Amino acid sequence: MNIIPAVSAPEFKDIRNWSDNVTHSIKDLNGKVVLLDFWTYTCIFCLRTIPTIEKIKEKYADKGLEVFGIHSAEYEFAKNIDNIRMAIKELGLNEYVTGYDTNNKTWEVYGNSYWPKHILIDRDGFVRYEHAGYGTIDDFEEALADLLDLPYSNPNLLQDKKDGKSPELKDDLINGNSKEQENKTEQNNVTKIYGMHFSGMAPEICVGYSRIRRFGNNQKAKIDEYNVFTEPQTVMDNTVYLRGKWRWDKEGIKASFDHKEKHPAIIFKYNMASNANVIVGSTDGKSAFANIKLDGEFLTDEQLGYHGKRDSNSSFFEITWPHIMNLVKTPSPEIHVLEILPKTENFYFYTFVFG
Distances 57 to 3, 28, 34, 170 between C-alpha atoms, Å: 21, 19, 11, 27
Q: Give 38's pLDDT tier (boundaries 50, 70, 90).
A: very high
pLDDT digits 0-9 by tens, 205-214:
999 999 887 8
Domains and CATH numbers, the chain: 2-148 (3.40.30.10), 205-354 (2.60.120.260)
Q: Give me the chain's average pLDDT, please.
A: 90
- If one compares 181 and 327, the residue with the highest pLDDT of the two is 327
pLDDT of residue 212: 83
Distance of CA 246 to the CA centre of its chain: 26
d(CA 132, CA 25): 23
- Other beta carbons less than 10 A from residue 273's beta carbon: 26
pLDDT of residue 130: 94
Amino acid symbol at 265 = A
Distances 200 to 197, 212, 266 between C-alpha atoms, Å: 9, 20, 23
Instruction: Kindly tell me if the per-residue pLDDT of 173 is higher than 60.
Output: no
Q: Give 164's pLDDT tier (boundaries 50, 70, 90).
A: low
pLDDT of residue 213: 75
DSSP string, 331-345: EEEEEEEEEEEE-ST
pLDDT of residue 339: 98
Burial class of residue 300 (count of CB atoms within 10 Å of its CB; 0-12, 13-18, 19+): exposed
3-state secondary structure of 308: coil
For residues 294 and 336, the answer to whether their CB atoms sit within 8 Å is yes
Answer whether 0.85 is exceeded by the pTM.
Answer: yes
- If one compares 355 and 166, the residue with the highest pLDDT of the two is 355
| Buried residues in 128-143 as b, exposed as e (16+ CB within 10 A) | bbbbbebbbbbbbbeb
